[in-house]
Chains A and B, each alone.
Chain A
């Protein structure tokens, strides 16, 4: 019996995060007001899909943040990155011809095409040639030239197609290719400065957060605080897909979020890339000494984080019908909070994408519950802060250590008191 109890206990302890989410969900059901028809508002499909829609932007950023934090880094620039994404997206959608946005996005897109081909094709070729290192070495220079050529062809195609789009305006496909490419490059710049300049991620991404916000404002011209996007009038209609509901319930941004979780969760679990991320976060020096290209991997991770943040910017534009340089204010902190609630260690090396999914949902449902109860937004902030602290305290298991220390301290106090009492007794006897 005891064995069963302890296994069950262990199971609950390991999955406590899910129980937390379940408990929160129950709180949601029971605390929810009831509408006129007598239905629970919290449980309404509309409300549930609303929560998914609301969390998806934060969620997509949190996916990238999870990768960064797992390597032991942090990315504070994601909020500004999202704002940049939303501004570039809105401008591409609404303005014809060569604008600041297209001048930025099209060269970057061409560069990304060449670079990714030159980098990824040889990797695939090496995997095809597995087993014979000599053959790979021989083939490698030919493969490299071939892949660069392929990249150039692809890049010219991309440029030709995007420039042809400029005559009218960018459609949904155009922005979904061009804007993430911008994020990829800015993220890679983050990683480059951090690894080659041997600087702290905190400082570098803090500086980039400020700088990118400036870039986002400069792009649109200083007198343009908001770039409205009205599909059907000043932008193509197909962009509306990004704010649609699939089967009337599943919001499209939510699908983007879930796909990001699935893809990068899979990458973390089974790929060499994922293993290296955990190894770097767990012990960077050991990883470096094992002959792992730590710098390259870190740059890739920051690039992915930037790419996802800019993708979130596109979704923001669709959702709020505007591109806005202030779109991402505080987004980096929400993402970090969700990742940390999900049990990912800020020191790196420990955590999972499922954790982040749950963390994002906890954050989302909490906001939803408080909104349904009509709780003052300032009180909401306080409650959110408390929830973050409690969640992390539970996750890290620091409560136990704290308790142990207090107990040890009390024990010594008691012991001293006993000694004093004893010596008094002895004196009294005398």
Chain B
């Protein structure tokens, strides 16, 4: 259908061509006939909102997804990428968003996993591996020990190891998916130097990132995806920040941000948390505590944002509040003045806490069950008598959830797994609202859903706050956090570094407090970082 393009003799020949790539997860089409060209020696930024399909497209190129439509040509030759092994033999390596290191293996063992340096017969030559690993890591500003398990490194250092792992594979095409999400500003700068050097040597690089500044600083070319479609490709020098945002969002950002927050500081606190802590389950880790000294209060109708880089302990803080780490965590938690024990989710639910988890598919929904079965799950007892569930009650709950949240579904029995991401997220929130909570914990409430549903969920969160819920919001998207929050607590490596009010909100300030080595507000300076 798409003929292979003749390979030209110029140095900037096409290293990778993807033609008419379509992919659907169940009924949701996440990629619609996307084509993508990558030239040797270029740094090509792939941009788009969460759920635009960037990662999916690149996972296909890296052989991590084998069930798709379309064709892939590497150096002009068609390849069928059925496994990461196929991709590796075609010279493609990918640094994935989720860290894929083996925590108990040493840095060098991780870097050379699957391509160990062999001394004789079957013996691994650790000395040579350590030397080679240091060679790759030193330009990346890595100062950790190479013969220690990676679990002992901080998340940012682990991310560098991940980068090194891809570098030693001598790939001609290198895909980096959010490689800087846990890196400090210095580390990011060093990484860019390495990337530029690689590009000069003719390696083609795909760079996926949310951070506009990074992209404009490092990329030669920018491709924008939106809702699984290719929106445009342009030179990074020609593109303006504003234009890229417009292409990503589909309309001007100002339209979405409809502000008007009311003052809530005078209201009575609903949730008071003091000195939350959580032990690290990995005994070998560099950080014995994943969460430490975290204290905050949230008033009725207030939204408190938790900001931080990957691994800062935001999700863990919510999990501690919900009683998911009983035994290894602690702290004093009061709801409306009454102390509660962080025992288990049953107790948390009874105390009026609701938790909308980050990964709705893994933690939030029973995908193989209908909307009705999911909606009722947390409140099933209330519609049952003597253990027999009332069919009317079930239907009523499901229909109320569908109506109140505006879920688009064919009926109350539609399987949760066949809903779109946005509707799934609404269902999770609806399920929890049925429990009539006092405190709502939201972890990445709009991850991977399209813009329209996002705006609806923003409005809904606003309405819930107006109704007097105390809300704690975790989000990696700074615009989302600054739009919705009344105050933002910034975490760094499990400890609070700043509490910002609306006047102080800016991406720069938040990143400064969130980055390793950045500043700490005087109020939090007492709890120093013992490394």
- Select from chain B the residue with minimum beta-carbon distance to A409: B80
- CB nearest neighbor in A for B390: A270
Contact indicator B388/A130 (Cβ below 8 Å): no
Contact of B4 among A271, A285, A419 (CB under 8 A): A419
| Chain A residues with CB below 8 A from B348, complex form | 291
Task: Determine the chain B residues whose CB is within 8 A of the CB of A292 once the complex forms.
Answer: 346, 377-378
Are the CB atoms of A286 and B387 closer together than 8 Å?
no
Interface pair A349/B366, CB less than 8 Å apart = yes
Interface size on B, residues (CB 8 A): 36
Check A123 against B387 for contact (C-beta < 8 Å). Answer: yes
A289 touches B388 (CB 8 A): no
Which residues 275-294 of A have a CB within 8 angstroms of B? 275-276, 278-279, 282-283, 285-293
Q: Does A35 contact B (CB under 8 A)?
A: no
Residues of chain A within 8 A of B346, CB atoms compared? 291-293
Are A282 and B388 also in contact (CB < 8 A) when A290-B377, A291-B345, A291-B378 are? Answer: no
Contact with A along B267-309 (1 / 0, CB 8 A): 0000000000000000000000000000000000000000000
Contact of B362 among A285, A287, A408 (CB under 8 A): A285
Which of A272, A283, A415 meets B365, CB within 8 Å?
Answer: A283
Q: Could you tell me if A275 and B387 are in contact, using CB atoms closer than 8 angstroms?
A: no
* Bound Cα distance A276, B349 (Å): 16
- Provide the main secondary structure of the chain A interface: helix
A279 to B368, CA, bound (A): 9
Excluding A272-B387, A278-B373, A293-B346, 14 further A-B contacts by CB distance (< 8 Å) are: A270-B391, A271-B384, A272-B388, A275-B377, A275-B389, A278-B369, A282-B369, A285-B362, A286-B365, A289-B364, A290-B378, A349-B366, A350-B368, A412-B80
- Partner pick for A288 among B4, B345, B368, CB 8 A cutoff: B345
Q: Which residues of B contact A404 (CB under 8 A)?
A: 67
Is residue A402 within 8 Å, beta carbon to beta carbon, of the partner chain? no
Cross-interface CB contact of A272 among B364, B380, B435, cutoff 8 Å: B380
With A130-B385, A273-B387, A290-B378 in contact, do A279 and B369 touch (Cβ < 8 Å)?
yes
Interface residues of B in 470-500 (CB under 8 A from A): none
Report how far A243 CA is from B203 CA in the complex, Å.
Answer: 79
Interface string of A293-313 (1 = CB under 8 A from B): 100000000000000000000
What 0/1 pattern do residues 70 to 114 of B give for CB contact below 8 A with A? Answer: 000000001010000000000000000000000000000000000
Contact with B along A20-56 (1 / 0, CB 8 A): 0000000000000000000000000000000000000
B363 — which chain A residues lie within 8 A by C-beta? 283, 285-286, 289
Bound complex: CA of A349 vs CA of B373, how far in Å? Answer: 12
Q: A127 contacts the other chain (Cβ, under 8 Å)?
A: yes
A65 to B366, CA, bound (A): 21
Report the separation of the CA atoms of residues A415 and B324 in the bound assembly, to the nearest whole angstrom. 53
Residues facing A in B354-387 (CB within 8 A) are: 355, 357, 362-369, 373, 376-378, 380-381, 384-387
- The answer to whether A282 and B368 touch (CB under 8 A), given A290-B345, A291-B349, A292-B377, is yes
Taking CB atoms and an 8 Å cut-off, the chain B residues in 416-458 that contact chain A are 431, 435
B386 contacts A276, C-beta separation under 8 Å: no
Q: Mark A401-430, 1 if CB is under 8 A from B, else 0.
A: 000100011001001100100000000000
* CB-based nearest A residue for B384: A272
| Contact, CB under 8 Å: A282 / B389 | no
CB contacts (< 8 Å) of A4 on chain B: these are none
Contact, CB under 8 Å: A279 / B381? no
- Name the 3 nearest CB pairs between A and B, nearest first: A291-B349, A282-B366, A290-B378
Q: Which of B51-75 contact A (CB under 8 A)?
A: 67
A317 to B387, CA, bound (A): 34
Tell me, yes or no, whether A124 is within 8 Å of chain B by CB: yes
Interfacial residues, chain B to chain A (CB-CB below 8 A): 4, 67, 78, 80, 322, 324, 345-346, 348-350, 355, 357, 362-369, 373, 376-378, 380-381, 384-389, 391, 431, 435
Residues of B within 8 A of A271 (CB): 384, 387-389
Min CB–CB distance B89 → chain A (angstroms): 15
Q: Quick check: A289 and B345 within 8 Å, CB to CB? A: yes
Nearest Cβ on chain B to A399's Cβ, whole angstroms: 16
Question: Nearest Cβ in chain A — how far from B432, in angstroms?
Answer: 9
Question: CA separation between A292 and B378, bound complex, in Å?
Answer: 7
Cβ of B75 to closest chain A Cβ, rounded Å: 14
Shortest A330–chain B CB gap in Å is 31
Instruction: Take A270-B388, A272-B384, A289-B355 as given contacts and tell me if A278 and B349 are in contact as well, using a CB distance cutoff of 8 Å.
Output: no
Determine the residue in chain B with the shortest Cβ distance to A271: B387
Using known A-B contacts A279-B366, A286-B363, determine if residue A124 contacts B373 with beta carbons closer than 8 Å. Answer: no
Neighbouring B residues of A270 by C-beta, 8 Å: 388-389, 391
> What separation, in Å, do the CA atoms of A291 and B343 have in the docked complex?
11
Partner of B367, one of A275, A282, A289: A282
Across the interface, A419 reaches (CB within 8 A) one of B78, B324, B350, namely: B78
Most chain B CB neighbours (cut-off 10 Å) among A286, A415, A416: A286
